[in-house]
């Protein structure tokens, strides 16, 4: 995965022009296309088409993920040849196993580009069956794989959102983190606040305006070479919660670009995304009230990472 650090001679140059250099992407057209398809990261944050004119500063880090899943031109919607497996479907809800690299829901209008989203695919899928439209219940990060649920009626959405707001669903993730958490089982409890300008979570004091409590329970599943496979159960469900808490507690996710503290000096482990997978999801059916429980198998890229680190152990 190509990555460059901006040198003094390139300070002030536009991002798209920097990318268009012969020793990088080679043309302005390729740079614009890569930005539009979510392949460019600036200082660990995904850059959109609207960032093309951003003036670079010394030591900025520009990264290109050319084969990012979900960034190809061809859109494969849900259907007979779908690449978004339906885990469960009835008249009230739809549960999918989202691959990494695909948005759960479209970006806000001021950041929207041609990036593919699960919401759009589900909308297309339902339209072919004349079944209305999907309704958002929760979401997971673009480069996190795993289970996500959409409501298919207003009543189902209301009931499911109430369950999530009351912290009733069981949400369990698998993650590969740097180092070996000690103790091997415990709880992360922090206060964090969303920075609306930087679009990241930051640690906060409990009384700080906008601060929210973040609670996760973790368990080491397997010790690996320089890393550990852990299971994390969400108690609260803040945006980027596991990613920020893992970093705050000294064990950032392998592949993490955004939530890595300056004092982290762990060995480099190559992986093109944060090693995080929404593994299990359990909740009550919004209408029938029966218990539902789903599990998404570990995706191939994460399984290969675990196997590689297991061999090195």
| Residue range 70-115, pLDDT digits in tens | 555 443 345 444 556 888 999 999 999 999 988 898 877 655 555 6
141 is catalytic: yes
pLDDT mean over 149-156:
95
- Is there a domain that residue 201 lies in? yes
176 touches 275 (CB < 8 A): yes
The yes-or-no verdict on residue 123 having pLDDT over 50 is yes
240 is in which domain, residue-wise?
172-277+306-312
The yes-or-no verdict on residue 67 having pLDDT over 80 is no
Q: What is the pLDDT of residue 73?
A: 44
123 touches 182 (CB < 8 A): no
Beta bridge partners of 172: 233, 280
- Is there a domain that residue 166 lies in? no
Q: What is the pLDDT of residue 113?
A: 54
- Is there a domain that residue 44 lies in? yes
Q: What is the pLDDT of residue 145?
A: 95
pTM of the model: 0.76
Among 5-19, 49-63, 98-112, 223-237, the minimum mean pLDDT is found in 98-112
Q: What is the pLDDT of residue 161?
A: 96
- Is there a domain that residue 24 lies in? yes
Q: What is the pLDDT of residue 81?
A: 44
- Is there a domain that residue 211 lies in? yes
Q: What is the pLDDT of residue 261?
A: 73
State which of 31, 64, 97 marks the end of a domain: 64
- Is there a domain that residue 15 lies in? yes
Domain count, the chain: 2
- Is there a domain that residue 160 lies in? no
Q: What is the pLDDT of residue 192?
A: 97
Q: Average pLDDT, whole number, for the chain?
A: 88
248 touches 190 (CB < 8 A): yes
Express as a percent the part of the chain with pLDDT over 90.
Answer: 65
The yes-or-no verdict on residue 303 having pLDDT over 80 is yes
State which of 18, 41, 64 marks the end of a domain: 64
**String of DSSP letters for 98-112:** EPTTSBSSPPPTTT-
Q: What is the pLDDT of residue 35?
A: 85
Confidence of residue 186 (pLDDT cuts 50, 70, 90): very high
The yes-or-no verdict on residue 55 having pLDDT over 60 is yes
Out of 16, 141, 190, 301, the active site residue is 141
Confidence of residue 10 (pLDDT cuts 50, 70, 90): very high
The yes-or-no verdict on residue 137 having pLDDT over 90 is yes
The yes-or-no verdict on residue 30 having pLDDT over 60 is yes
List CB contacts of 100: < 8 A, sequence separation 6 or more.
69, 70, 142, 143, 144, 145, 273, 299, 301
- Is there a domain that residue 50 lies in? yes
Token duo for residue 115:
């990036």
Domain holding 251: CATH number?
3.30.2350.10
Judge if the upstream peptide bond of residue 280 is cis by omega within 30 degrees of 0: no
Q: What is the pLDDT of residue 109?
A: 64
Q: Is 283 left (phi over 0), alpha (psi -120 to 50) or beta?
A: beta
Confidence of residue 136 (pLDDT cuts 50, 70, 90): very high
Of residues 111 and 256, more confidence is placed in 256
pLDDT mean over 160-180:
96
pLDDT mean over 196-217:
93
Domain holding 12: CATH number?
3.10.290.10
């Amino acid at each position: 995965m190509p990555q460059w650090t901006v040198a003094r001679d390139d300070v002030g140059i536009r991002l798209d022009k920097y990318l268009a250099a012969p020793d990088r992407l080679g043309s302005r057209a390729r740079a614009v296309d890569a930005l539009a398809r979510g392949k460019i990261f600036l200082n660990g944050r995904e850059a959109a088409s609207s960032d093309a004119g951003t003036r670079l500063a010394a030591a900025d880090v520009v990264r290109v993920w050319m084969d990012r899943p979900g960034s190809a031109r061809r859109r494969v919607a849900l259907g007979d040849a779908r690449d978004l497996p339906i885990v469960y479907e009835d008249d009230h809800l739809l549960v999918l196993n989202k691959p990494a690299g695909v948005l759960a829901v479209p970006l806000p209008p001021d950041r929207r580009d041609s990036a593919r989203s699960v919401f759009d695919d589900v909308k297309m899928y339902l339209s072919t069956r004349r079944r209305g439209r999907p309704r958002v219940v929760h979401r997971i990060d673009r480069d996190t794989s795993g289970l996500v649920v959409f409501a298919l009626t207003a009543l189902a959405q209301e009931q499911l959102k109430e369950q999530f707001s009351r912290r009733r669903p069981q949400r369990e993730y698998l993650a590969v983190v740097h180092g070996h958490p000690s103790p091997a089982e415990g709880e992360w409890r922090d206060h964090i606040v969303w920075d609306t300008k930087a679009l990241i979570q930051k640690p906060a004091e409990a009384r700080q305006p906008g601060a929210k409590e973040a609670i996760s329970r973790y368990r080491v599943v397997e010790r690996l070479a320089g890393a550990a496979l852990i299971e994390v159960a969400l108690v609260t469900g803040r945006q980027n919660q596991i990613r920020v808490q893992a970093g705050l507690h000294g064990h950032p996710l392998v592949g993490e670009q955004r939530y890595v503290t300056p004092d982290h000096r762990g060995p480099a482990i190559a992986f093109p995304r944060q090693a995080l997978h929404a593994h299990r999801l359990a909740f009550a059916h919004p209408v029938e009230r029966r218990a539902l429980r789903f599990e998404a198998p570990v995706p191939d890229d994460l399984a290969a990472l675990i196997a590689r680190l297991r061999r090195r152990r």
